[in-house]
Structure 1
């Protein structure tokens, strides 16, 4: 069978970095080809070449048997290549409908946008796709998960698409939304279309892909048939080493002293009577379905969202935290799920971002910033966290998503907070980098740091957390000790009705 899309000998370099070298790839009609590799392996660069954002330094491309060399994203779309980017390409001040059909809006008299027809057309598309979105909603007001749905709807709205590229399409989706996406993919696939599916979630690759292509350090490694391989073999090819994905929490013990006590915490829109304790040297996992209130708890604790009732105590002393700067003063650091929006200054260097939260107390003397101290600290964090960057002076926006996440972690390690809240710490990060971050979190806990880890990936929670707080519709539905924390027990608590009593399986911790 002739490939629908093929690449041969493709290379692409940037100052100080060879992103791709002699890359080749074949995508056949009617298939879902998974593309995997560690962060920095070149996946996103390859997709940007295909979508016309970058031009290759060398190599040949063919689409449906014809030479393919797009001059830009619009030209790529016209030729039949659609893409859902890992980082959203949406206009936050426009509506869902305007974002989906930007440049293709229905017109009155060929001049004026027909808003009624646009909203109707969008509603019909969303209904057909099974996506629960209001066409008139402003995109900037939506959650990360709903913005991802807008990206998906936008990509699937163009019926001329031959090859649809999905770059981490499920990073912000819960299990039900992932199932919906996979149904959409199966409907999209025909004898004349194909999907390139990029994901770090191994269970998804098994569920949706026909073949898996592995790349490492910008080079092609192997292509395997999904049904004839194991995910352990895929991971081994990705990282060049074995990774133990079956280990559980480390340093589990009783009698830890509480360092953070939250009692009866409520907010105006979602949280109701949330209570729990975080203990010294503990990793406390937060689990629940999307919209259960996990991120809202973190934001309420650090003062990003106002609370209407409840108390917060740090080391046994009740504190008032009206804004995030006050949380920092009490030794609480927050790594947001949206690193680009809340965690980084994208146009500053790696070194500047690492020093950002500690500039006044660590890197300022007599009113002058000590650039030498910043450079030394940045080099140490780049080394210890394995941040892939040509130098500490590299602009953060030019790093891969996983390396950007590591820079945010480095910032809070530099701050040396006693309490660290990690909201989706491995979102968009490959399995090799995940393993490094897991090791880092365990080292921090062993050193006496107390960690709240919010994650949508149950295997991650079960691997890392000493105890698990499970939330459902703004309330704590249960707290599980490590020996009771199973996927079944967590899901039972996560799906409790909000007016239900906490289950008897949740015995540890205050309810």
Structure 2
């Protein structure tokens, strides 16, 4: 007897979409059952964003059909999709900092009465949606600027739930800006929606989230759906990587070179007076040192202090054995220390400038004639060389950086850092929002830098990244280093336990 097929929330069949010179979708399909969480994975450029924009009515498909709730939609427009109960949660928050939570939940569809806004009803409904449907007790009068990143994301989700005809919510990288502990709040909200019968299409580069959360997964490669995984589990990530890349997963992380005994950078008793205190650490030439910590642990502030973005209030920093005090990143760079920042779009790039200008920004003196006039030829030659070396795609130095994928934007930031020839490289969250293929390339670059004798510090919330890339890992809890671990002695679970202060290793945080 044939098993009855579950009701469909969304069915997209044989979708084609081409742009000048690019076939973005080639017979792609999606089938999301009612009430399920369906994962969508693929490398940057695989077609995920394009098919979402087709569904949203932003792009008109060249061919194919779309059904929502079992009903064919002849012409996709934003209004038609919205009327059929499809909502979109984008990676960017698009919230106004000085609005209240209630105002943000109802922004664009405020409740109007004869005498103006029904503010009390908006506050009550916002609080009820957040608590009953998303599991978050939050003051509806709180300002957006005063709540956490995870709470902002849940407010964004609540905006999609203000009416009752929701059939499907599309989540596009919803946890990219969040720390490890905050991710669970968002995943818990998605599960609550599933329990209420709302289907989700969940797009993420974090395969651990996909295997933990999703009922089924569709994999995209080169504009097509190349496989589906039913009942994904902990061992499914390897199969996803194979389908995404067309190759066996193999070793995501390159082999680590053996570091030297020469200490390149060290800090002792470093204190900023508020976020962290008494930090001791050292990095050797050829070593990749990890710094692990949750949001609020002090890792961000420590990184900023190491490169002169934040003032040290006590302790000592030494480079090559000599005491230093950096007043700015430019001061640090003159001493051979360069930062690859956590927020590449706002702190690492000038988005409206082309790749070649961004690559040369930190070394304009070397791209000038007689130290005065910039040489367009030198700028172009240096950029072309770095674009080729780092395999930036497309290989067009004159392309504006904002038009690149996240992984390729990160490569541009790294390329600029490599041109400085700094011997101490600090990477803060180096692969946030980066697909699995670009991650592997970034890991290879980091390992290559260490093999050439650079000292590398990696601050990351991703325990798998730290374990695979680093020789040693320093764990920070509440502003203090509570343990130094050889990465080969750690597991993902033991590192998370240390980061969350749930093991004896964290006792030092209270000393």
Q: Which residue, 343, 361, 365 being the options, matches 1:360?
A: 365
1:406-445 equivalences under 5 Å are: 406-445=411-450
Partner-residue secondary structure (3-state), 2:276: coil
User: Which residue in the other structure is 2:245 paired with?
Assistant: 239
Q: State yes or no: 1:251 paired with 2:257.
A: yes
Q: State yes or no: 1:127 paired with 2:137.
A: no
CA contact (8 A) 1:358 1:415 kept: yes
CA contact (8 A) 2:252 2:440 kept: no
Q: Distance between the aligned counterparts of 2:274 and 2:113, measured in 1?
A: 40
Q: Which residue, 470, 473, 478 being the options, matches 1:468?
A: 473
User: Which residue in the other structure is 2:456 paired with?
Assistant: 451
Q: Which residue, 16, 22, 37 being the options, matches 1:17?
A: 22
Partner-residue secondary structure (3-state), 2:465: helix
1:118 CA drift (Å):
4.1
Aligned residues: 501
1:139 CA drift (Å):
3.9
Q: Which residue, 175, 183, 186 being the options, matches 1:178?
A: 183
Q: Distance between the aligned counterparts of 1:491 and 1:165, measured in 2?
A: 29
1:44-193 equivalences under 5 Å are: 44-68=49-73, 69-72=75-78, 76-107=81-112, 109=114, 111-112=116-117, 114=119, 117-128=121-132, 129-131=134-136, 135-136=140-141, 138-139=143-144, 144-189=149-194, 193=198
Structure-2 change in CA distance of 1:189 and 1:416 (3 Å): same
User: Which residue in the other structure is 1:378 paired with?
Assistant: 383
User: Which residue in the other structure is 1:508 paired with?
Assistant: none
Deviates more, 1:220-229 or 1:292-301: 220-229
CA contact (8 A) 1:265 1:275 kept: yes
Deviates more, 1:26-35 or 1:486-495: 486-495
Partner-residue secondary structure (3-state), 1:297: helix
CA contact (8 A) 1:249 1:465 kept: no
Deviates more, 1:437-446 or 1:205-214: 205-214
Q: Distance between the aligned counterparts of 1:141 and 1:377, measured in 2?
A: 44
CA contact (8 A) 2:430 2:458 kept: yes
Q: Distance between the aligned counterparts of 2:252 and 2:437, measured in 1?
A: 14
Structure-2 change in CA distance of 1:16 and 1:79 (3 Å): same
CA contact (8 A) 1:243 1:435 kept: no
Q: Distance between the aligned counterparts of 2:118 and 2:368, measured in 1?
A: 53
Partner-residue secondary structure (3-state), 1:272: coil
CA contact (8 A) 1:468 1:485 kept: no
CA contact (8 A) 1:170 1:178 kept: yes
Structure-2 change in CA distance of 1:416 and 1:98 (3 Å): farther
Partner-residue secondary structure (3-state), 1:502: helix
- The normalised TM-score by structure 2 is 0.88
Structure-2 change in CA distance of 1:132 and 1:401 (3 Å): farther
* Structural RMSD (CA): 2.9
1:30 CA drift (Å):
1.8
Q: Distance between the aligned counterparts of 1:289 and 1:42, measured in 2?
A: 32
Structure-2 change in CA distance of 1:418 and 1:403 (3 Å): same
Partner-residue secondary structure (3-state), 2:498: helix
- The normalised TM-score by structure 1 is 0.88
Gaps of at least 5 residues in structure 2 are none
Q: Distance between the aligned counterparts of 2:282 and 2:82, measured in 1?
A: 51
